[in-house]
Structure 1
Amino acid sequence: MAAINERQWQGRILQWTSELLKSYPDLPFSKVDQEFEVLVAGKKRRFNDLTLFDRQGKPVCVFELKLPDKSDGRSPRYLPVVTKTHETADAMGADYFVTWNVNSAVLWKTYIPGRAPYERSLTQYPSITTIYASEALDLPNVEAELKQWLKSFLEELGRIATGIILLPPQPLDEGFIQAVQSYLEPLLVGKIAAELQRHYKADRVFAKGLRQWAVNDQGWTWDDSMQGLPDSLSRTARLACLMLVDKIVFYEAMRKVYAGLPTLSLPVSIVTGEQLRTRLNDVFARAMKIDYETVFTEELVDTIPFVADEAVELWREMVEDVERYDFTRFGYEVIGRIFERLIAPDERHKLGQYFTPSYVVDFINTFCIRSADDYVLDPGCGAGTFLVRAHSRLKELDSGKNHEELLEQLWGIDIARYPAHMSVINLAARDLASTENYPKIIHDDFFKVFPQRSQYEFYRRSYKVAGLSTERYQTVVPLFNAVVGNPPYTRQEEMEDLFPGLKERAHGAIQKDWKLEVSKRSSIYALFFLHGAAFVKEGGYLGLLTHSSWVDVDYGKYLQEFFLKHFKVVAILEPQAEHWFPAVDVNTSITILQRCNKKADRSNNMVKFVQMKTHLLELLPKYGGEQERTAALDNLVQRIESADSLQEDDLWRIFPVSQSDLWNEGLDEDGNFTGSKWGKYLRAPDIFFRILERGRSRFAQLKDFAEVKFGIKTGANDFFFVTDITDSVSHAELKQYGISPSNKKQLRLVEAGDGGRYVIEAEYLKPLVKSTRDIKSLIIDESITKFRVLIVSDEKKTLVGKSVLKYIRAGETQSFGVGPRAGVPAKKPTCSSRNPWYALDENNKGKFLWFALITDTHAVPHNPGDFLSDKRFYNVTPKDAVQEELIFGLLNSTFTFLCAEFWGRQFAGRGIDSIDITVYEVAQLPFLDPKAIPQERATRIINAVRKIADRAILPVLEEVNLPDRRALDDAVLEAIGFEDPEERANVLSDLYAAVCQRVESRFERARSTQHPGEKRPRPNAEAIAEELFKELSPELAKKFPDGFVPAGTKTRSLDLPEGIEDFERVTFNRLRIGGKLLDFDNPDEAEFIQFAVQSGAVGPIAIPAESGITHAAVTDYRNHLTELAKQVEELATSRTLDRKLKQRIVEALRQKLGLRSLQADKTARLM
């Protein structure tokens, strides 16, 4: 493809725009012209690229079109282009102008009072397409993307220009962030990452240091395989550039305070990366003479932005852009928001680091910070937003306090270095002129820190007559009036993968704090609650923004009991209309607790369950400063805390419940606290409570009338779940597998989950219901059982001669599955815990199947064929078979669906916030006692559900309009106790309205979830192992026995029996191969055979004739394995701290070394 010049690019947009104006006559534009002549400042003749005119012939918008591979087109915010286009639009009288560099565009307002031209952006379109060379404009997909965007842009511009929509100017900080982003991407993709790769491959010392920084300091996985290295380096370059931007921004903020600091301007004489580095370090050294060594000190990673000489010009342009902005005008959030935008989403998930919106932070801080003298801790401080906003709140509460005094009251902890670094920057930036400006930010694991015991060292700056000196001082971590924050949003197992030992430390800390043993399945945020509580003074507050699930999940009962015993539960708040973290697929809530040791005070407390129906930001003033914002937040908190009865309007619903009632509700019949579903007070509508109240004496729990169990948990689906392909392949192919027309019914050809084909006897293959997507009605038949499940209970010795035994042995010696699922089935934890490992429970069946994940359809289908089902289903079997059909009807009622909404937990994704409900939660659902229903009413329910069972099940929003659905729900409501037909009709209407509103709300919340940026590909363990293999010492890669027996040694040959894949070292001098036992007089010979087989031997093995040589060989090899295991572990650890990935890398290396993974290897193991 030939390169396209700017004029050709302009011509295409002219043509496409003209065609769109003809095709869409409703657009409020009459024409578009190219190179319209205009006089700027009355004398300069200028020809703009394109001009769009309204229907009266007045210019509306000027287009400036650039190419991304040209120097003036790298960013749509490039200042000379913006300035020139603004002058042209202003001279023509056009209200708007747009700068567009193919990949992204910015729409500008020509005139906004009080703002410079570069501050007048209205919106940015960041991802129109992605090209790096103008030749790509000829690609059909690129042209399609550009045409589609141009159409949508003209439609939006038309609505703006005609006043249908009002688009305010972008906040200054948003414009700044987008300006930075527009430079970073070409810096990374086009320049630095490519040069960094050359540097990495050429300098082994640099490469090792970079890996150590990435793995040990950042907790990253380093993949230096051919496929993974570009991503590892791009990611590193991205963060390194981001850190340099932080320094630049911070320095510019310092210049506003310290007039003597020089500008960052970069002379044109600077043309190499090393010259740029020298210049910036000289400037930053001036700043370090004042303060902030921790911000400006250079480490290895800080040298990365300077590796590419070609990037210097871009850095120069960025510095010029940054210098135009006044950092102090848009304040504390900007660095945190840059972090949120540019760090890969999956990396943020692993560390649970998400930037909390300031209005949510202020809401929590208002609940928890009551006095200007309060000491505040954020135990997972991230970018420091909670602490920065706490600084502002304390200042509002007492304007006389100075910066140094406020910093004494603010403490933060973060396990990751970079977020802790940003907290220091953000807090210090509150007052750069302060002489004591060292925030108390602790870079450590929160679960290693204890109040009134842990000591940490901080800087103190003091000015003396002779000059400056810096000293350190130690202080003990105190108790706090307010502990606030947003703990990591991730499972305990994932944090454990990145920070080994964290789980043990967390549970140890809670045991030390409270003498409390908590569920090992608790999420990390639950452990933050418990350990964070130890830092709160009596009367102080704990306010955390966390996953909502704790109010309902099984380990939530520990938190419920703990809170009720040690705190007043002030309020639990959950948003209905928004995600407080748009980038996170979890539902969040705010929990506010007040430390209280007096039982009577706790019991009398009224807990406020608050469902926020509108966006929290809409409850705050749109204009005004900190004083107005603080007053509005104080008012919101006062209104919530003073509510003593149910309050509901368009803003929120406040449901007060006494703390003593919550305690009593959680007690079982023996007086033990087992917890309850607090989520219903947050989410359930009034009709839910009305129905429960009417049927109070008739309701119990589903488990009282039916057994509820998991479907099959195989531990290795790729092995146990197979597809029978016998009837879909040719007779010729079947013949190759030993299957003929005469034995076809007895022998079946199956395909395992990894694509491998095997022969298995039909008697061991049972129909399986695997996917909820296959279920279309309330009756399950064999047509939907596309899969078969392996059911074998016999011991292997009784299976000799059968094909299934070969399949079982394959499951003991070879890996099944792909990617993270891959592994030897017999060695997987769930499988190895069974005896024998392959024996699944054939009797694990249910008369009804409950979906573990509920979207917008409610169905609990009948399973008359007693088919086995996957763990995605729960098996429900009535205790009284006589009641089976009646229970079928009750399970499929809309009220049961509504109960499931509040007993399960929401999580975002799949186009709708789904309901994830556990097996124990299904068992605990409120359920009408079948025996309490008179026969006549029971018959109504049965007849109604039979009619529904004859048709397809529709989404709930459609089901509620069907007569047979209404008949079933009407019959159920009558059985509950709504005997009056008119009342029942009203209740049914309210029930349907509540269910529909609930489902629509989940759809809306899912739509509000955004996923900025692309996730990086999952690290490939095999590819990493391939690279690590090259680093192994050749001495360690030698094979047994050839590498351990001297050449020329006399030997005797031992033939191995068939079935080598079924190998076991039974005792020190006995082996079992296949079904045959081999005994040896000399244990060294048995071990010699074992090591040979483990190293891949399959044929006759040559054993030294002299016992001394045999002994030396196995002794040397045993030591060799120890050293090999050590080096393999070190190599894997050098690339990742992720425990699971490290195990996969080790396993891949073992296979690369040609070493077998043998079942029942009772002696030396490689790992």
Structure 2
Amino acid sequence: MAARDDFVKLESLATVKLGLKSGADDFFFVQRGSAAGHGNLVPSRGAVAVTGKDSWHGVISSRDLIPAILNPHQLFDGKQRTLTISKQTKHLYLAPRAGALKEDLKDYVRLGEIAGLPNQKLVAANAEDAWYRQVRSRVYSRWALPYNSAYDYGAWDNEFGAILNGRFVGVDAIDDENQLLLGAVLNTTMTAMCRLLEGVATGVEGAYDVGPPAARKMRVPDIRRFDPSRIAEVTDTFQAMREANIMPPAPSTEGKVSLLRRHLDVAVLCALGMSAGQATALLDRLYASYGRWRGGVEKVETKMRSNRRAMNALGQSRTVNPIEATGRRVWDEIRHDAPNFPSDFVAKDEVIEVIGVPTDAYIPESEPLIEAGIITTKKKRLDLKHCGRVAYARMLRIIGFAGLFEIPVSHVRCMAIVALFEEHHAKLREAARQRAEKYVSSKESVDAVVNVTIRHWLKTCRDAALARPTDEVRVEAKTH
């Protein structure tokens, strides 16, 4: 099929782009609220109730949100895969406007900073003037192909221009007049079959990764060679599929397909010059071949599932890293001796100064001879007044906080908390090392287990800051 001269590489008909890779989808792709009235515009405020990272709930201005699709697995209506992407998408992409943060967005950004998102490489690389404003190109392509797919493969109609997540590959016809014809051929069985030649098998039940490079090489029916007298049949057939809002399933193991799929496949092949009989004969062989491939994969996967169940019964897993598992085990053994910094040591009535510390700011590791209270950035100098408060900021960065740092005004309190942190850090490392040596032998493995254990501790410290009671009284000094 791919060798036919009326099949061409997709790149000759369309532009192909990878969807948006945010680096923190659970933060940047929020979900419309599910409670009554949630998820709809509030006319008096022009805002949307949403759910975000770590089940955060709040109201964000609609001007800071853009409709988006996050995952191919969510584009279903019951058990039926839909074809068109709704104007009212389930997810929204967070794109804060320049200027002060509105509604509950300030609190949500703070949550992301406590979670350490500004320190994540891709988030930092995408950052504009602030880490939560991304400059990475947004993809609104008309057709959305799945990056990863199994037996079913097709292109969703993104008519209303939702942002595509990185789990999608966006496709646009080079000639805009051919958009519907391109969508039609992308939803044929011929294209689903040809993507197997270019995609990369993932080892999971027939799943293939078909990223932009592979999609560009994927051979599809050449819409430029369609018989003008047969084009209307293709568009009418595809329009019926769009109106039904159904992406027909791929051929079954018996080679059976729905009428919608067969009608579209026949219409496309006839537009390439085949008679109805020739198209039907070719498709019968194609469906049977696809069914044999699918059946073979399903048999192998059935055996693999049986093996995985046996491994799980023994407490084993192919996906668990032994070092990670051991580090988690050690952490579970010593966590009762691990306090949460700084939450456990900051008094409720502590006078706090909230200071914005950029991720690229230089925080001295030891007390300098002059200007001991200074933190420097590319654009300015932050005067924390005392080296004890600088040490506290350094401690917060070690724990994994970013963005707005809550630093006690009292440098004496800062120095005391930092001293306790360093003491407990050393004790936990030693305790983790002693336990790690019971499970692994080499020095490299012991060190790795200790690092995993400490990582769990620091994450627990950050989580404790997120879980701080909302009625806790704090006196805040000015924010820099």
Structure 2 length normalisation: TM-score? Answer: 0.70
Q: Which moved more, 1:1138-1147 or 1:890-899?
A: 1138-1147
In the alignment, is residue 1079 of structure 1 matched against residue 386 of structure 2? no
Q: Is the 8 A contact 1:768 1:787 kept in 2?
A: yes
Which of 83, 90, 93 is matched with 1:778 structurally?
83
Cα deviation, 1:396-419, whole Å, max 9, x if unaligned, reads: xxxxxxxxxxxxxxxxxxxxxxxx
- Counterpart-to-counterpart distance in 1, 2:168 and 2:139: 11
Amino acid of the structure 1 residue aligned with 2:54: D
Check 1:1093–1:919 CA distance in 2 against 1; reply closer, same or farther (3 A cut): closer
Check 1:860–1:743 CA distance in 2 against 1; reply closer, same or farther (3 A cut): same
Cα deviation, 1:1101-1127, whole Å, max 9, x if unaligned, reads: 1439xxxxx8xx899889869956964
Aligned-residue sequence identity (percent) comes to 16
SS in 2 for 1:799: coil
Amino acid of the structure 1 residue aligned with 2:390: E
Q: Is the 8 A contact 1:813 1:1061 kept in 2?
A: no
Q: Is the 8 A contact 2:84 2:242 kept in 1?
A: yes
Amino acid of the structure 1 residue aligned with 2:168: F
- Counterpart-to-counterpart distance in 2, 1:1154 and 1:835: 22
- Counterpart-to-counterpart distance in 1, 2:211 and 2:123: 22
- Counterpart-to-counterpart distance in 2, 1:969 and 1:1089: 66
SS in 1 for 2:17: strand
Cα drift, residue 882 of structure 1: 1.4
Which residue does the alignment assign to 1:901? 196
Check 1:847–1:1132 CA distance in 2 against 1; reply closer, same or farther (3 A cut): farther
Cα drift, residue 1061 of structure 1: 9.0
Cα drift, residue 888 of structure 1: 1.2
The correspondence of residues 499-648 of structure 1 with structure 2, limited to 5 A, is none
Where does the alignment leave 5 or more consecutive residues of structure 1 unmatched? 1-687, 815-823, 1044-1053, 1105-1109, 1158-1167
Q: Is the 8 A contact 2:392 2:407 kept in 1?
A: no
Q: Is the 8 A contact 2:353 2:406 kept in 1?
A: no
Amino acid of the structure 1 residue aligned with 2:23: G
SS in 2 for 1:939: helix
Check 1:882–1:1124 CA distance in 2 against 1; reply closer, same or farther (3 A cut): farther
- Counterpart-to-counterpart distance in 1, 2:111 and 2:340: 27
Which of 676, 695, 709 is matched with 2:17 structurally?
709
SS in 2 for 1:866: coil
Which residue does the alignment assign to 1:833? 125
Cα drift, residue 864 of structure 1: 0.3
Cα deviation, 1:609-659, whole Å, max 9, x if unaligned, reads: xxxxxxxxxxxxxxxxxxxxxxxxxxxxxxxxxxxxxxxxxxxxxxxxxxx
Which residue does the alignment assign to 1:985? 280
Cα drift, residue 810 of structure 1: 1.7
SS in 2 for 1:779: coil
Amino acid of the structure 2 residue aligned with 1:831: V
Check 1:849–1:801 CA distance in 2 against 1; reply closer, same or farther (3 A cut): closer
Q: Is the 8 A contact 1:713 1:871 kept in 2?
A: yes
SS in 1 for 2:55: coil
Which of 442, 447, 453 is matched with 1:1145 structurally?
453
Which residue does the alignment assign to 2:28? 720
Cα deviation, 1:23-67, whole Å, max 9, x if unaligned, reads: xxxxxxxxxxxxxxxxxxxxxxxxxxxxxxxxxxxxxxxxxxxxx
Check 1:1139–1:706 CA distance in 2 against 1; reply closer, same or farther (3 A cut): farther
Which of 101, 108, 118 is matched with 1:807 structurally?
108
Amino acid of the structure 2 residue aligned with 1:945: F
Which residue does the alignment assign to 1:969? 265
- Counterpart-to-counterpart distance in 2, 1:927 and 1:1154: 50
Q: Is the 8 A contact 1:809 1:1062 kept in 2?
A: no
Q: Is the 8 A contact 1:777 1:950 kept in 2?
A: no
Q: Is the 8 A contact 2:248 2:260 kept in 1?
A: no
SS in 1 for 2:181: helix
In the alignment, is residue 930 of structure 1 matched against residue 223 of structure 2? yes
Amino acid of the structure 1 residue aligned with 2:207: S
Which residue does the alignment assign to 1:954? 248
- Counterpart-to-counterpart distance in 1, 2:189 and 2:285: 12
Which of 389, 412, 415 is matched with 1:1103 structurally?
412
Higher relative contact order (CA 8 A, sep 6+): 2
SS in 2 for 1:858: coil
Q: Is the 8 A contact 1:765 1:789 kept in 2?
A: yes
Q: Is the 8 A contact 2:226 2:273 kept in 1?
A: no
Q: Is the 8 A contact 1:1085 1:1103 kept in 2?
A: yes
Which residue does the alignment assign to 1:653? none
SS in 2 for 1:782: coil
Which of 745, 754, 764 is matched with 2:46 structurally?
745
Check 1:803–1:842 CA distance in 2 against 1; reply closer, same or farther (3 A cut): farther
- Counterpart-to-counterpart distance in 2, 1:1155 and 1:907: 34
Cα drift, residue 861 of structure 1: 1.9
- Counterpart-to-counterpart distance in 2, 1:904 and 1:1038: 47
Larger Rg: 1
Q: Is the 8 A contact 1:722 1:789 kept in 2?
A: yes
Cα drift, residue 813 of structure 1: 1.3
- Counterpart-to-counterpart distance in 1, 2:285 and 2:108: 56
Amino acid of the structure 1 residue aligned with 2:267: A
SS in 2 for 1:950: helix
Q: Is the 8 A contact 2:249 2:258 kept in 1?
A: no
Which residue does the alignment assign to 1:87? none
Amino acid of the structure 2 residue aligned with 1:986: A
Structure 1 length normalisation: TM-score? Answer: 0.32
Cα drift, residue 889 of structure 1: 1.4
SS in 2 for 1:768: strand
Amino acid of the structure 2 residue aligned with 1:807: Y
- Counterpart-to-counterpart distance in 1, 2:265 and 2:285: 12
The correspondence of residues 90-101 of structure 1 with structure 2, limited to 5 A, is none
Cα deviation, 1:1002-1044, whole Å, max 9, x if unaligned, reads: 3333233332524227649666324235688xxxx8989x99x
Cα drift, residue 1067 of structure 1: 6.2
Where does the alignment leave 5 or more consecutive residues of structure 2 unmatched? 365-372, 400-404, 466-480
Q: Is the 8 A contact 1:723 1:750 kept in 2?
A: yes
Amino acid of the structure 1 residue aligned with 2:86: D
- Counterpart-to-counterpart distance in 2, 1:1154 and 1:754: 13
Q: Is the 8 A contact 1:1132 1:1146 kept in 2?
A: no
Check 1:883–1:826 CA distance in 2 against 1; reply closer, same or farther (3 A cut): same
The correspondence of residues 260-409 of structure 1 with structure 2, limited to 5 A, is none
Aligned residues: 418
SS in 1 for 2:190: helix
- Counterpart-to-counterpart distance in 2, 1:787 and 1:1087: 40
Cα drift, residue 966 of structure 1: 3.1
Cα drift, residue 981 of structure 1: 4.7
Amino acid of the structure 2 residue aligned with 1:923: R
Which residue does the alignment assign to 1:611? none
Check 1:1131–1:919 CA distance in 2 against 1; reply closer, same or farther (3 A cut): farther
Amino acid of the structure 1 residue aligned with 2:123: C
